[in-house]
Amino acid sequence: MKKSILNKIFLISVPLIAVILVICLVIIPKIKSGDNDVENKTETDSGHKIEKMSTNDDSVRSAVDFDHELSKYQPKKDHYNFYFTYKTVHAWWDAVALGMEDAQRQFLDNGIVITYEYVAPNGASAADQIERLNKAVQGNYDVIGVDVADEELISPVINDMIDSGVKVMTFSSSDASADCKRIAYVGNTHNYEDGASLTEELCKKLDYKGKVAILVGSAGAPCHEDRARGARDTLEKYDNMSIVAVEYDMDSVDLAYDLTKKILADTPDLDGIICCNMSNPVGAARAIIEKNSKAVIVGMDHDKEALQYLKDGVIYCLGVQDCYSMGFDTIQVAVMIADGVYPGSLYPEKSEMMTTLIFQQDAGAMLETLYGDISR
Amino acid sequence: MKIKRVTNKTFVLTAAIGSILIMLMVTVNNIWSVQRTQTATNNAVSAVSSFYLEAMADRRAKTITNLISNNFSQMEKALTVFSDEGIENQDQLREMIGTIKYLLSLNRLALVDEDDIVYTQYTTYTGGSRYDFLSEAKLKDRVISTVFLYGSSTQLCLVIPADGLTMMGKSFKACFVQIDVGDIVKLLAFEEQGRTDFAIYSKNGENLSDTKLGSIILEQNILDVTSKVLSDEEWDELQKNFEKEEAGNLTFKQNDTEETLYYVPIPGTGWQMVVLISESIIHEQIRGVSEQNLSFSIRQIAFTVIVLIVFAAILLLMLRRISSVQLQAEKENSRNFMSMANTDSLTGLRNKHAFSEYETSLDKSIRDKAIENVAVVVCDINGLKHVNDTLGHAAGDKLIKDASVMLCEYFSHGAVFRTGGDEFVIVLKGKGFDTRDEVMDEFNRKVESNISTGDVVVSIGCSTLTEGDEQLNDIFKRADKRMYERKKELKAMGAITRDT
């Protein structure tokens, strides 16, 4: 009798204990695994989000090459001293300067000290440039570099310097005249083509009919004059395209602004403006906005404000030059010239630098590439 | 009042149910504790993470502030050196800049003359278009300027006026150092060893440090991104705080990803130091602790359950054992009571009660004809009364014991009963039945010899089952009669009798 009671209790207890064990071992881990599910989902979602938000535009980013390495050339000295002068104080030449500084740092890392001056007047002036060059000749420089302010006036000065044994090169935006004795040129060699290409884009946008104005830049500056010439020649190809004004803003944004307002006052139905330097697209865009004009702007270079106007659709097209590479290669070529290595297998007499035409859809990537943040 | 009796069954049931209830309580309590701990931890995390982020942001901002302060202090010293050295040409100036840079650990130290020509250790360049802080003809005070260089490089420029400094026939207007924000980021990342995301932002929300902030903002403009995930009110507050250079914090969520950030202005720079921690990272840290607690709780529950099971099993086994012992004891008692009821206390032989039960059993066999050979020997001690009267009851008792011993000795194959004071009955079956005559002869001879020696004299009469007998008593009566006849014979031989 008593045995049977105990057996019954055992029979009841065992399943109950089993149920409790199941609660302990199954339900509690489930609570835990439920938490994990939520977190995994979060990780998956965030991972997916990161992938969706990443963007890339290699074609635009390759317009300017910031990744340079020195050539295999072994300099003959451990210290070089250069003098560079350019047209005017302007952000465009600051971009060139950054490429030069990169090269200088890389030479320094290799034990080669390079010192240089990189100076310009506040306004483009051939007379000022001649004065600077004459002073530089007196200095102890291995090479003197010139961004020619006016090829007619500066080229003879360069020839005299060469004749007196000074090593002179030209760089960045403007070369000297064809008969100049300068040793080499590192910079834009296709300014005419740049002007022509920009104008071709403008004509196409205007369906090959309309009135356009040209803002040249500094009078006598080869790069600006060449671009303006390319623009004129392109416009002449089309019967329905006409030039209503050609103005020189002397690399001044304010002057470009004033000149554009004047052109718009004279020709309210202006259809387009061709800007041949870095300053005038900005001045032209400001005036166009102010006057609520429908004129289409094409222009040069990478001014941040100009890029923002491109992004906003005020400017139609910009030609961006690889200033960084110009500066980097200028220092490399200057070292070789200083060593008595002249153009040939190691470097050409005129280097080929790229210009990239960019449009509204490219502006964001270009702003990010050059200035880091498109919001500024 | 009626008191309910607590039985073993009740006790065991109570113990079992109690154990189960305790186990259930422990289990439920642990589950509840875990859930409550998780909730409490989550709440605590929000508070702690804000505090943690604030401390992180403050420390990083302080690092930059100290960096700025140290650089300013070193530049002041540098200016003193330049004034005292009497530098006459550019080469001397470059050498001196190099020396001071090295001695005072100043990064990209530069001097600016009145024409905005910048002099560094290796280069001399026109700086008007590169540095906004040179736009004024004369600097009045220290300047902290953020310079955005072509190619995405952002620089922190620290400028001090160089009033009265004249070298190489030129007046100098400023002295400055240029620190790459990337180097500052490396310094901060080294300090914090990458435990949290951080980034430096300008007032308009642009990312100056080019560092990734969480999985939502990434490297983008913080104001642009947060405008899509914050309410208008929250975003307006964030923008105002950035603009007014005030500290604050916020939490935002997108696609199940929740992130908390704290921002603090870096004095003088117009920058905001932002430190962010994502919910997943917080939970990753806490999950470790929770998992440990949970694991501990599970082990605790399992251990408790096992202990309770073992405890219950031990209890039940003990109860079984106790019950078994009790049962055994009761059986023993029962046997003892039974034995006491059927045993003669003086001789140890079975008594009259036992004989009655035995007789009942044999009667049934006789009636059923289940037995054929059975004999009954009726015995009576001679002279017991005489001994009692003359020698006392102790001698009488001895006589009874001696008689019983003698009977048991001779009738070893029979069932011997003491049915009265001096009366015995022996039932013979099997071998006892077969050898009855020889045994009786031997016994009688012994008795007869005892008469002369004064030892025990017992009169016996025997009878067997015969045709017509219906019960044992029929045999008993015949045996009893013969016993009296034998008693007479023994009296004649000189044996003491009742009448003696």
Residue A324 has pLDDT above 60, yes or no: yes
**Cβ contact, residue pair B123, A16, below 8 Å:** no
Q: Residues of A numbered 71-110 whose beta carbons fall under 8 angstroms of chain B's beta carbons: which are they?
A: 89-91, 93-95, 97-98, 100-101, 104, 108
Amino acid at A206: L
Closest approach of chain B CAs to the CA of A229, in angstroms? 29
Helices (H) and strands (E) in chain A, counts: 13, 11
* Structural contact between residues B132 and B98, judged by C-beta atoms closer than 8 angstroms: no
Domain extent for A312: 191-321
| pLDDT for the residue numbered B217 | 83
Q: What is the pLDDT of residues B272-285, one digit of tens each?
A: 999 888 776 666 66
Q: Pick the residue with more confidence: A30 or B89?
A: B89
Residue B452 has pLDDT above 80, yes or no: yes
Tell me: do A334 and A237 sit in the same domain.
no
Average pLDDT over residues B408-416: 93
Tokens found for residue B288 = 């470790």
Q: DSSP letters along B268-284, please?
A: TTTEEEEEEEEHHHHHH
Q: Which SS3 state, helix, strand or coil, does residue B432 take?
A: helix
Closest approach of chain B CAs to the CA of A193, in angstroms? 25
- Taking contacts as CB-CB distances below 8 angstroms, the residues of chain B near A45 are 255-257
Tell me: do A285 and A337 sit in the same domain.
no
Q: DSSP letters along A91-159, please?
A: HHHHHHHHHHHHHHHHHHHTT-EEEEEEE--SS--HHHHHHHHHHHHHS--SEEEE--S-HHHHHHHHH
* Structural contact between residues A156 and A176, judged by C-beta atoms closer than 8 angstroms: no
| CATH number of A206's domain | 3.40.50.2300
B204: nearest CB among A29, A98, A376: A376
| pLDDT for the residue numbered A56 | 45
What's the whole-model pTM score? 0.65
Mean pLDDT lowest among A52-56, A114-118, A304-308, B333-337: A52-56
Q: Pick the residue with more confidence: B211 or A171?
A: A171
Whether residue A66 lies within 8 A of chain B, CB to CB, comes out as yes
Is A175 within a domain?
Answer: yes
Residue A103 has pLDDT above 90, yes or no: yes
Q: Pick the residue with more confidence: B45 or B339?
A: B339
Instruction: Count up the domains in chain A and report the number.
Output: 2
**What is the separation, in whole angstroms, between the first and last Cα of chain A?**
94
In this structure, chain A runs to a length of 376
For residue B384, CA distances in Å to B96, B380, B500 come to 151, 9, 11
**Cβ contact, residue pair A35, B305, below 8 Å:** no
Tell me: do A221 and A304 sit in the same domain.
yes
Tell me: do A116 and A211 sit in the same domain.
no
Mean pLDDT lowest among B22-26, B184-188, B223-227: B22-26
**Cβ contact, residue pair A46, B257, below 8 Å:** yes
Q: Pick the residue with more confidence: A372 or A268?
A: A268
**Cβ contact, residue pair A323, B150, below 8 Å:** yes
Burial of A163 (0-12, 13-18, 19+ CB in 10 A): exposed
> How far is Cα A297 from Cα A279, in angstroms, rounded to an integer?
13
Residue A43 has pLDDT above 60, yes or no: no
A118: nearest CB among B23, B125, B255: B125
Q: Using DSSP bridges, classify how beta strands B123-126 and B117-119 pair: parallel, antiparallel or unpaired.
A: antiparallel
Q: Pick the residue with more confidence: B405 or B154?
A: B405
Tell me: do A254 and A265 sit in the same domain.
yes
For residue B136, CA distances in Å to A279, B128, B133 come to 21, 10, 7
Q: Pick the residue with more confidence: B263 or A90?
A: B263
Is A23 within a domain?
Answer: no
Query: Residues A87, A200, A317, A192: what is their CA dihedral angle, to the nearest 10 degrees?
Result: -20
Tokens 């995930």 — which residue? B229
| pLDDT for the residue numbered B499 | 62
* Structural contact between residues A278 and A294, judged by C-beta atoms closer than 8 angstroms: no
**Cβ contact, residue pair B24, A24, below 8 Å:** no
Which pLDDT band, with edges at 50, 70 and 90, does A368 fall under?
confident
Is A314 within a domain?
Answer: yes
Average pLDDT over residues B320-345: 85
Amino acid at B161: P
Average pLDDT over residues A352-366: 88
**Cβ contact, residue pair B124, A118, below 8 Å:** yes
Among A354, A353, A323, A349, residue whose Cα is nearest residue A185: A349
| pLDDT for the residue numbered B4 | 59
Whether residue B320 lies within 8 A of chain A, CB to CB, comes out as yes
* Structural contact between residues B339 and B441, judged by C-beta atoms closer than 8 angstroms: no
> How far is Cα A40 from Cα A51, in angstroms, rounded to an integer?
17
In Å, the largest CA–CA distance within chain A is: 133
User: Please, what is the average pLDDT of chain B?
Assistant: 86
> How far is Cα A363 from Cα A370, in angstroms, rounded to an integer?
10
CB–CB contacts below 8 A, A to B = 178
Which pLDDT band, with edges at 50, 70 and 90, does B337 fall under?
confident
**What is the topology classification, in CATH, of domain B352-492?**
Alpha-Beta Plaits (3.30.70)
**Cβ contact, residue pair A6, B122, below 8 Å:** no
Tokens found for residue A186 = 């590192």
A119: nearest CB among B23, B124, B152: B124
Q: Residues of A numbered 287-306 whose beta carbons fall under 8 angstroms of chain B's beta carbons: which are they?
A: 302
Domain ranges in chain B are: 1-342, 352-492
Closest approach of chain A CAs to the CA of B136, in angstroms? 14
| pLDDT for the residue numbered B312 | 78
Query: CB under 8 Å to A316, separation ≥6 — which residues?
Result: A201, A202, A205, A296, A297, A298, A310, A359, A360
What burial letters (b/e) apply to A33-55, b meaning 16+ CB within 10 Å?
Answer: eebeeeeeebeeebeebeeeeee
**Cβ contact, residue pair A46, B327, below 8 Å:** no
Whether residue B305 lies within 8 A of chain A, CB to CB, comes out as yes
Tell me: do A232 and A344 sit in the same domain.
no
Tell me: do A182 and A87 sit in the same domain.
yes
Is A261 within a domain?
Answer: yes
Is A295 within a domain?
Answer: yes
For residue A260, the tally of other CB atoms under 10 A from its CB is 30
**What is the separation, in whole angstroms, between the first and last Cα of chain B?**
68
* Structural contact between residues B142 and B175, judged by C-beta atoms closer than 8 angstroms: no
Q: Pick the residue with more confidence: A80 or A58?
A: A80
Q: What is the pLDDT of residues A154-201, one digit of tens each?
A: 999 999 999 999 999 999 988 999 999 999 999 988 899 999 999 999
| pLDDT for the residue numbered A122 | 87
Is A361 within a domain?
Answer: no
* Structural contact between residues B426 and B358, judged by C-beta atoms closer than 8 angstroms: no
Residue A16 has pLDDT above 80, yes or no: no
Q: What is the pLDDT of residues A18-37, one digit of tens each?
A: 665 555 454 444 444 333 33
> How far is Cα A324 from Cα A92, in angstroms, rounded to an integer?
10
What burial letters (b/e) apply to A78-100, b meaning 16+ CB within 10 Å?
Answer: eebbbbbbbbbbbbbbbbbbbbb
Q: Using DSSP bridges, classify how beta strands A355-358 and A315-321 pair: parallel, antiparallel or unpaired.
A: antiparallel
Closest approach of chain B CAs to the CA of A4, in angstroms? 10
Tell me: do A317 and A195 sit in the same domain.
yes
- Taking contacts as CB-CB distances below 8 angstroms, the residues of chain A near B280 are 39, 42-43, 46
Q: Pick the residue with more confidence: B229 or A41?
A: B229
Average pLDDT over residues A233-249: 96
- Taking contacts as CB-CB distances below 8 angstroms, the residues of chain B near A29 are 298
For residue B351, the tally of other CB atoms under 10 A from its CB is 19
Q: Which SS3 state, helix, strand or coil, does residue B170 take?
A: strand
| pLDDT for the residue numbered A12 | 60
A43: nearest CB among B19, B280, B316: B280
- Taking contacts as CB-CB distances below 8 angstroms, the residues of chain B near A323 are 150
Q: Which SS3 state, helix, strand or coil, does residue A344 take?
A: coil
Query: CB under 8 Å to B497, separation ≥6 — which residues?
Result: B382, B383, B386, B487, B490, B491
Tell me: do A239 and A92 sit in the same domain.
no
B224: nearest CB among A23, A90, A375: A375
Is A299 within a domain?
Answer: yes
Which pLDDT band, with edges at 50, 70 and 90, does A375 fall under?
low
Average pLDDT over residues B21-40: 78
- Taking contacts as CB-CB distances below 8 angstroms, the residues of chain B near A13 are 16, 19-20, 312
| pLDDT for the residue numbered A351 | 87
* Structural contact between residues A87 and A221, judged by C-beta atoms closer than 8 angstroms: yes
Is A282 within a domain?
Answer: yes
Average pLDDT over residues A285-299: 96
| pLDDT for the residue numbered A124 | 83
| pLDDT for the residue numbered A10 | 57
Q: What is the pLDDT of residues A244-258, one digit of tens each?
A: 999 999 888 999 999
Residue A354 has pLDDT above 90, yes or no: no
Tokens 């001895």 — which residue? B398
Mean pLDDT lowest among A31-40, A120-129, B313-322, B433-442: A31-40
Q: How far is CA A120 from the centre of its chain?
A: 20
Q: Which SS3 state, helix, strand or coil, does residue B285 take?
A: helix
Residue A75 has pLDDT above 60, yes or no: yes
- Taking contacts as CB-CB distances below 8 angstroms, the residues of chain B near A324 are 150-151
Name the helix (H) or strand (E) containing A188. Answer: none
